[in-house]
Every structure is written in C-alpha cells, then in structure tokens.
Amino acid sequence: MTTSLERSKAVLEGRTPDRVPVCLLNFMQAASMAGMSLREYCTSGEAMAAAHLAAWERFGHDVIDLENGVATLAGAVGCTVGFEEDSSPPWVTAPALTAIEDVDRLRPIDLGGEGMLPAMVEATRILADAVGDRVCILAEADQGPFSLASQIVGIEEFLVALMEPDQAANGQRLLEYTTEQVTTYARALIDAGAHLTMMGESIAGPDVCAPDVYRRVAQPHERRVIQTLASEGKAMGLHICGDATPIVGDMVDTGARFLQLDHKVDRITAKSATQGRTTLMGTVDPSGVLALGTTDDVWTAARMDLDALAAGGGYMLAPGCALPYGTPEANVEALIEVADRFGRYEGAAAA
C-alpha cells in the first residue's frame, strides 16, 4: 500500500502515484479543533505538533503543513509581534528598525533562543519523529527575503527605498541580510526532519507590487535561497497570496520544488507554466468555499481544480492559502473524499 510520503515524493519527483495527494494548510483550523488559542499554538512546539497530529489522525491527509503565522522570522530579527485575539494569527505591530539606514544594527536569528522560531523547529522535530516515515512534512520557513525586509522597516519605507537612488545600497544590504536569515531558518527546519520547506512572498506579489518589482528585486533573492538549499539536497517551495498569474512563470524560474498558489490564480496559465517543470499545489478557495461554503461547494470547487490541474501529473490538491480558524471539519473531510474518489492523473504515465 502506498504511503502518504511515497505518494507525495512521487509527485514532487515528476512521477505519477496512485492518486493526487492532499495538503492541508490547516494550522489555524488544527488549533481550533484542538481547543487551542492561536497564541497557545504558535508559541509552543509541543502544542503545534499535538494539534497537527490530531488533525492528521482525523483526516489522513498526505502532507502536514506546519506553520505558525507570518511573523515568526520578523519576531526573531527584532520586530514587535502581537496577537489581536485567540482566533487570529500573530502580526507585526512595530518594525525592527525605524529607518533603513540602521540596517547594520540587525543581528542573525538565534535558532536556540526563545519565541516562535525555536518552537517551529521543535514542532518539526516532534512530527518527524512521530510520523515522518509515513507522511510528508512541510515545515514553512515563513516569509521570503522581500517580505521579511518589508516587515523589518515597514512596507512603505522599504518600497520607497527601492525607488530612491540614495537608498539603494541600504535596500540591498537589507535584502542580503534577509536572504541569509531565510536560508538559515529553512535549513534548520529541514535538518530537524521536514521533507520540504516553503517561503511566502505575498508582499512581493502583484496584489501589492508591480510584476516588474517582483522580477527585478524579489525573485533574484528567492532564487538564491532556493538554489543554495537545493545544492544541499533540501527542497523548498514558494507561495504568493492573491492573483499571481502575471508572475507564475517567474516563480517557476526560481527553481522552487513546488508552487503553492491562491484560488485567484488563472488555472490554465498556472498549469502551462508549471507542467513538467515543478509541482503545483492549490487552489481551492480557503475562505469562501472551505470555511464558509457547504460540502457541496467543496465538492464542486475541488473537482473543478482536479479537472483543470491534475492531467499530466505535477499537482497536489490543497487550499489556496491557510484555512481560517474554525473551518468546518465536514468541509475538510469533503476535500479529502474528492481526492480519494476523483484524484487521478488522466493522461499521465504511472510511477
């Protein structure tokens, strides 16, 4: 019998397993199922691991996507991080620097210190020890270089610095710094037992920045992180929220082992750009369908994505972004059932 890990590895290696694997981007939903606040979940490696193990035992998905929000690296480099309420993930409430000219004051992340970053490494190790021989573990390395830089000085100041010739050197030094921190964190997660890692670069995406900014500024640093890790035998993916259609090809060119794409992306463009080059993961609407829709809505959306994206291989069924806190278990079950019943790679050779 094919294990979830074998199924997932086959797709990532360009082969075709028995069915389409399912990845649940469910850290908030797993916390709510376990009766945890997101503060409790995000700050404890044991709590994170327990919540994901309980969710995996409940749903049997193929990829455990471990994360604890979008402020883990930011907190580790000196940003102020807070929780607004029990059901909301942590957010940066104040940047680490008040001026980009102070970039040289930044210090490397401390993998053995306190906070959400060491908790992620601990949770990865616990999950790897418990189920790493059966399930694919994707431990997210939080934000990519561009997005982390935006958090460190504030998005407005960072974007202005990119356009000001007299600030170009400071902006470049900041990106060099963030590239190193992302690489260090991603490496630590793989070394702790994760099979895959991933970075998010939503601030660099078309919903915030022009595609030219992504191509000139963000993508080269993403590529460096991904290629450095690839040279060490470590696999990294890339996620950008929103409608990333104009830059999907550029995302593929980073060398990412997989792209995790939002429900807003054009499926035909995404499939064409990724086919034969990398694995596509997504793209069911996490809020409108999985959190707020009916099971019939989930069936309709998931089958549409399978029809559009599974043919020829290279696809994993998943939400387009993180499932909200309190997403109904019945809807998650429906997503799993659709993959079980209809997740076949028509037109692809068997593994």
Angstrom CA distances, 244 to 176, 212, 290, stand at 24, 13, 21
In-domain check, residue 171: yes
Regions of the chain short of the pLDDT cut 50: 349-351
Using CA atoms of 297, 302, 303, 304 in order, give the dihedral in degrees to the nearest 10.
90
What is the reported pLDDT for 334?
98
In-domain check, residue 347: no
In-domain check, residue 282: yes
Write out the residue range of the structural domain in which residue 249 sits.
4-342
Q: Which helix (H) or strand (E) holds 125?
A: helix 116-131
- CA-to-CA distance for 137 and 250, rounded, in angstroms? 26
Sheet of strand 23-24: strand arrangement:
23-24, 63-66, 136-143, 196-200, 235-240, 258-261, 279-284, 315-319
In-domain check, residue 95: yes
Peptide bond into 283 cis (omega under 30): yes
Q: Which helix (H) or strand (E) holds 211?
A: helix 211-213
In-domain check, residue 350: no
Question: Rounded to two decimals, what is the model's pTM?
Answer: 0.96
What is the reported pLDDT for 347?
63
What is the reported pLDDT for 263?
97
| 91-94 and 80-82 strand pairing | antiparallel
> What are the start-end ranges of the H helices in 258-350?
267-274, 295-309, 329-342
Asked if 52 and 21 count as a contact pair (C-beta separation under 8 A), the reply is no
pLDDT tens profile 276-292: 999 999 999 999 999 99
In-domain check, residue 151: yes
Asked if 5 and 44 count as a contact pair (C-beta separation under 8 A), the reply is no
Angstrom CA distances, 179 to 13, 50, 83, 323, stand at 26, 31, 26, 28
In-domain check, residue 349: no
Asked if 42 and 122 count as a contact pair (C-beta separation under 8 A), the reply is no
Show the CA angle centred on residue 293, arms to residues 288 and 295, nearest 5°.
140
What is the reported pLDDT for 346?
79
| 80-82 and 315-319 strand pairing | unpaired
pLDDT tens profile 228-254: 999 999 999 999 999 999 999 999 999
In-domain check, residue 269: yes
Find the CATH number of the domain harbouring 181.
3.20.20.210
What is the reported pLDDT for 351?
43
Q: Per the structure, how many domains does the chain have? A: 1
What is the reported pLDDT for 350?
44
What is the reported pLDDT for 11?
98
Asked if 218 and 236 count as a contact pair (C-beta separation under 8 A), the reply is no
- What is the percent of the chain where pLDDT is above 90? 93
Counting every residue written for the chain, the total comes to 351
